[in-house]
Structure 1
Amino acid sequence: MGTWDTGHFDNDSAADFSGRLDDAPEAERPALIRQALELAIAADFLDSDEAAEAVASAALIGSQCPGGEPVTTAYGPKEPLPALPTDLRPLAVKALDAVLGENSEMRELWEGDETWTAGIVRLREVLGAAGA
């Protein structure tokens, strides 16, 4: 995974996921987000590419929550997302827990980087406060 910064979309996997969302019909985008979250939750060992897609998905969900940060990076989706189902919020929290868990390659790669960890924790808090 090529990574250039600590943001939720600042890696090749998240940027590619954004491209797949843009290429999908609008009605199918929530299902792609759900799939990325469920894959992360179900993984025995979460590889960094799958984790990056889960984090990007959680960021997109969080952007539609009260207090959430809009996704303004050039590496996020260019096409607007429909209103995402609120039942994705608890899945996003579980996926972020998996990303931060002991069986996560992404956590291993970012271990000791307080900026990255704080960004994930802040996103989790927004999702949790929104009723996850």
Structure 2
Amino acid sequence: MSEPKPSVLFVCVHNAGRSQMAAAFLGHFGRGAVEVRSAGSAPAETVNPAVVEAMAEAGINIASETPKVLTAEVVQESDVVITMGCGDACPVFPGKKYLDWKLEDPAGQGVDAIRPIRDEIEQRVRGLLAELMPNEAC
């Protein structure tokens, strides 16, 4: 019997930048071995176009992604919840692993300012994946 896939939820306020980048990196590097979700406490209408451009430079297309609203159900369905500046808006349930990644908000910034945020998120996601799947190389 195979182990169930670990599930990770990335949460930021607008689900238009940081959480979208993190989810895209984890989906890319996890190669289907991790269930990936992202959501926002006050989702924007669209993903930040400069974030889409920065991710395209990294070889990952997130142009078709849309911000999603944070619900208690999506938190309950996740093993690991990683917040990125959503404060107290994220519901807390027992038995979940919570991490808070302090990252600069890419909202209103150009691609040049977003690149270092993207690169930091990539490194954190690689570290997370190594924790979740210690026998896999990414």
Indicate the TM-score class for this superposition, using the shorter chain for normalisation.
under 0.3
If you compute each CA radius of gyration, which structure gives the higher value, 1 or 2?
2
Larger proportion of helix? 1
Structure 2 length as normaliser, TM-score? 0.25
